[in-house]
């Protein structure tokens, strides 16, 4: 889909009143018919790149990509692609990088999941295997022992759940227990049976970009153009999912911040997030409390990175993301509500009353 062929990257992305004014003047166009707009395109052809106006004449293949930028994507998992929503992280693990051990007890995990939903999380993402850098694989039997009681109880309470797993047998069992969504950090590439599970069950899926495995990915963070290479590799993962029978409307995409990406690579990828918009699928962003927040803020304690995580989340929304995977649900939901209100058209001033 992407490779070394042609691709489009929206640039000059703006939001709110500025976007509306530029669109009204014909100097920009709405991205996905939502609150963001872009004024130009970076056009990639082979190894060459150049800037063109958003309405430039393009060859048919590129024109079809631009059409995806202009059209509103189909909803995913019942959520509109242009409306921001929050996914709460529920790690039922002893060793996750930020909250390992806090929710290993099923009762504690259930209470935490209910609290996230009450705070405004649209989805609760339940996982039983840490995928932090350097972590080793957890056997599916142990993974299921950790998460299935939690999923059953939260699903019985009416919550929308995703299962964070690389294992097909865990995906199947979690869906049977009441999960609706599969969130796989390997993009359904780790387990050869994973694509078939998603296709057969018709489950919405999050495909994430990662090189290698959590145990090996740190040594694979070498890029000449991180944004374009991630786009190309994620495009190959997307194509493989479609070839396996997964419907395009079932797919959301995640560029995988911190997974085989180091230091400023993560920042550049965040700054160029609109390059992923030409897939025409919702974008999930997971930067909550991660090392990239610590590098920018100077905060070494992951549990104290909530303010920086919210700053990054709002930046991602302003660059085309719609789904935020976070630890600090209540704080992020509040920030998103304010951000959305700030995007609304300004209220005209009332005239002064006659004297």
Q: Give the 3-state secondary structure percentages of the chain, helix then strand then coil, rounded to 5.
A: 40, 15, 40
Backbone angles phi, psi at 149, to 5 degrees: -60, -35
- For residues 282 and 252, the answer to whether their CB atoms sit within 8 Å is yes
Q: Which of 286, 189, 207, 192 is nearest to 248 (CA)?
A: 207
| Nearest partner of 99 among 91, 108, 110, 107, judged by Cα | 91
CA distance 217 to 230: 14
**3-state secondary structure at position 13:** coil
Selecting among 290, 291, 305, 319, the annotated active-site residue is: 290
User: Taking Cα atoms as reference points, which of 165, 163, 259 lies closest to residue 213?
Assistant: 259
Element (H, E) at 107: helix 106-119
Enumerate residues 6+ apart whose C-beta is below 8 A from 336: 84, 86, 313, 314, 317, 324
Q: Which residues pair with 87 in a beta bridge?
A: 123, 325
Q: Which of 42, 66, 305, 325 is catalytic?
A: 325
Using CA atoms, how far apart are residues 259 and 107, in angstroms rounded to an integer?
A: 30
Residue 279: phi, psi to the nearest 5? -70, -20
- Active-site residue flag, 290: yes
In the residue annotation, 261 being an active-site residue is answered as no
Tokens representing 114 are 């209910």
CB 322 within 8 A of CB 283: yes
Residues labelled catalytic: 290, 325
């Amino acid at each position: 889909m992407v490779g070394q062929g042609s691709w489009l990257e929206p640039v000059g992305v703006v939001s709110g009143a500025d976007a509306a004014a530029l669109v009204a003047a014909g100097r920009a166009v709405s991205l996905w018919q939502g609150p963001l707009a872009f004024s130009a395109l970076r056009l990639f052809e082979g190894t060459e790149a150049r800037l063109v106006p958003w309405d430039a004449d393009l060859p048919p293949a590129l024109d079809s990509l631009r059409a995806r930028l202009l059209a509103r994507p189909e909803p995913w998992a019942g959520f509109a692609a242009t409306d921001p929503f929050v996914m709460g992280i529920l790690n039922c693990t002893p060793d996750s990088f930020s909250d390992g051990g806090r929710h290993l007890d099923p009762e504690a995990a259930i209470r935490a999941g209910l609290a996230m939903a009450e705070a405004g999380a649209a989805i609760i993402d339940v996982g039983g295997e840490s995928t932090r850098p350097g972590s080793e694989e957890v056997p599916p039997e142990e993974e299921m022992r950790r998460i299935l009681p939690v999923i059953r109880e939260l699903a019985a309470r009416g919550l929308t759940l995703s299962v964070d797993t690389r294992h097909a047998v865990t995906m199947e069992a979690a869906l049977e227990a009441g999960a609706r969504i599969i969130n796989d950090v390997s993009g359904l590439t780790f387990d050869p049976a994973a694509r078939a599970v998603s296709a057969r069950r018709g489950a919405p899926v999050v495909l994430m970009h990662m090189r290698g495995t959590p145990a090996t990915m740190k040594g694979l963070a070498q890029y000449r153009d991180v944004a374009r290479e991630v786009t190309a590799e994620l495009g190959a993962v997307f194509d493989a999912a479609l070839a396996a029978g997964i419907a395009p409307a079932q797919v959301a995409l995640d560029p995988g911040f911190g997974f085989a990406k180091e230091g400023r690579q993560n920042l550049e990828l965040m700054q160029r997030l609109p390059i992923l918009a030409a897939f025409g699928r919702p974008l999930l962003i997971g930067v909550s409390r991660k090392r990239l927040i610590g590098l920018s803020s100077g905060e070494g304690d992951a549990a104290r990175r909530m303010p920086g995580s919210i700053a990054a989340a709002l930046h991602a929304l302003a660059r085309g993301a719609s789904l935020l995977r976070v630890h600090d649900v209540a704080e992020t939901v509040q920030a998103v509500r304010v951000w959305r209100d700030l995007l609304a058209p300004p209220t005209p001033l009332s005239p002064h009353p006659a004297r």
